[in-house]
């Protein structure tokens, strides 16, 4: 039998709710990957990605795989055997970066911060001073595993001061909080489609600065991955005549185009403001229900609310009830945080007043508490665009 999924509200760490226009775009008739009409669409997607990333980088395109493939594309192209990389670890994805650096033959100098905290610029400055051989600084802008937001602008400035390039994970930040690739001078940046772009999972937008592109061109060893070698991929995604590299995921590109188009139509600043004000409302409601945040004020992602599960709550059972009785998905914790925190997403199309209400109402029912909705409502009325 054909599969008929239930209609969930996706407020976990991603995938998040997909915009209905994006779902409609997905099922448009498939074109050939070298069809001139599709090639024109590729150009539009690149231009829209430049807007979303706030960059004029020519090497800006979607990798034909999930965010993890985008991460590895950045690492595999920039890291050669023997390259020293300062890697900031304050959650699951920093740790993943470290493993990838080592699998590419690089040496990782790890800067550890507690899970739930932002990356410490002081520690990074110390590590860069202590390791003058370092050529790259790698960090996560928005840690999806903890809800912590790091100061990408300051970290990038430190890297530049020490002559390092940056690899920056913006999987959860793109479209949700301010991200200015050119103004901040970020070098190799990757993201995902399934968070604040309101597109299903499956693609990973990347952008490389001229410095990063030059580094790839000046490598003395081949990129270990043929699939991810951006020099080869740009034969297809670059300018001029398109050479076959792999068959592009045509329908997913339609979806990404529509998601980016909607983001541009709304405006980046408006989208960032929407995420901020919905977060304020959700936060008021969650705190009224007895939740407290993992990340301290000032280091929190509005679009990913990681909160301690209140004492006495059986978290797995409660989450299962949210799903089964309210069709609401929220996320559990990863690693040491499993069973201890919940991750409540407000990303892209999922970041709407009705979702804040739905989430708080469902939590009230499942936890047998009250006051959350009442605390959020005034902030929803004021702040969040419908």
Mask 171-200, x = binds a copy of itself (CB under 8 A)?
A: ---------------------x-x-----x
Tell me which of 43, 130, 211, 244 binds a copy of itself, using CB under 8 A: 244
Residue 235 as a binder of a copy of itself (CB under 8 A): the answer is no
Residue 312 as a binder of a copy of itself (CB under 8 A): the answer is no
Location of structure tokens 């960090």: 139
Residue 95 as a binder of a copy of itself (CB under 8 A): the answer is no
Residue 298 as a binder of a copy of itself (CB under 8 A): the answer is no
Burial of 215 (0-12, 13-18, 19+ CB in 10 A): buried
Contacts of 66 (CB under 8 A, 6+ apart): 192, 194, 201, 202, 203, 204
Question: Could you tell me how many residues of this chain bind a copy of itself (CB under 8 A)?
Answer: 74
Structure tokens at 205: 């937008």
Residue 318 as a binder of a copy of itself (CB under 8 A): the answer is no
Give dist(CA 194, CA 192) in Å, integer. Answer: 6
Residue ranges in 256-295 that form contacts with a copy of itself under rule CB under 8 A: 257-258, 261
Q: Smallest Cα–Cα separation from 123: which of 136, 110, 104?
A: 110
Other CB atoms closer than 10 Å to residue 1's CB: what's the count?
3
From 97-105, 183-191, 286-294, 351-359, give the range in contact with a copy of itself by CB under 8 A: 97-105
Residue ranges in 347-376 that form contacts with a copy of itself under rule CB under 8 A: none
Residue 47 as a binder of a copy of itself (CB under 8 A): the answer is no
Decide: 169 and 156 in contact? Cβ < 8 Å. Answer: no
- The 3-state DSSP class for residue 196 equals coil
From 66-74, 206-214, 301-309, 375-383, give the range in contact with a copy of itself by CB under 8 A: 66-74
Decide: 116 and 335 in contact? Cβ < 8 Å. Answer: no
From 46-54, 109-117, 253-261, 281-289, give the range in contact with a copy of itself by CB under 8 A: 253-261
Nearer to a copy of itself, 220 or 292 (CB): 220
Q: Tell the smallest beta-carbon distance from residue 45 to a copy of itself (Å).
A: 9
Residues facing residue 190 across a β-bridge: 169, 206
Tell me which of 50, 55, 57, 64 binds a copy of itself, using CB under 8 A: 64
Instruction: Supply φ then ψ for residue 175, to 5 degrees.
Output: 90, -10
């Amino acid at each position: 039998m054909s599969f008929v999924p239930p209609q969930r509200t996706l407020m976990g760490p991603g995938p998040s709710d997909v915009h209905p226009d994006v779902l409609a775009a997905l099922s448009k008739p498939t074109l050939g990957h070298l069809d001139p009409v599709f090639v024109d669409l590729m150009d539009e997607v690149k231009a829209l990605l430049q807007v979303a990333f706030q960059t004029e980088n020519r090497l800006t395109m979607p990798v034909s795989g999930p965010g993890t493939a985008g991460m590895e594309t950045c690492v595999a192209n920039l890291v050669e055997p023997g390259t020293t990389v300062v890697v900031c670890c304050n959650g699951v994805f920093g740790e993943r970066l470290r493993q990838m650096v080592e699998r590419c033959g690089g040496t990782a100098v790890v800067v550890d911060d507690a899970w739930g905290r932002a990356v410490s610029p002081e520690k990074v400055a110390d590590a860069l001073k202590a390791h003058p051989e370092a050529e790259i600084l790698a960090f996560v802008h928005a840690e999806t595993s903890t809800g912590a937001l790091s100061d990408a602008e300051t970290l990038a400035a430190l890297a530049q001061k020490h002559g390092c390039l940056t690899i920056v994970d913006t999987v959860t930040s793109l479209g949700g909080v301010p991200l200015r690739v050119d103004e901040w001078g970020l070098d190799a940046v990757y993201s995902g489609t399934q968070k604040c772009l309101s597109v299903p999972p499956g693609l990973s937008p990347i952008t490389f600065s001229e410095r990063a592109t030059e580094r790839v061109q000046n490598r003395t060893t081949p990129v270990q991955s043929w699939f991810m070698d951006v020099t080869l991929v740009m034969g297809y995604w670059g300018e001029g005549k398109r050479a076959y590299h792999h068959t592009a995921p045509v329908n997913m590109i339609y979806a990404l185009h529509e998601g980016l188009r909607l983001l541009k139509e709304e405006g980046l600043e408006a989208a960032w403001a929407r995420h901020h004000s919905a977060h304020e409302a959700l936060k008021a409601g969650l705190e009224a229900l007895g939740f407290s945040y993992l990340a301290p004020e000032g280091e929190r992602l509005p679009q990913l609310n990681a909160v301690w599960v209140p004492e006495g709550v059986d978290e797995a059972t409660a989450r299962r009830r949210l799903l089964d009785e309210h069709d609401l998905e929220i996320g559990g914790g990863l690693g040491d945080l499993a069973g201890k925190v919940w991750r409540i997403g407000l990303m892209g199309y999922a970041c709407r007043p009705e979702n804040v209400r739905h989430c708080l109402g469902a939590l009230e029912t499942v936890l047998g508490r009250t006051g959350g909705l009442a605390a959020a409502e005034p902030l929803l009325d004021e702040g969040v665009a419908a």
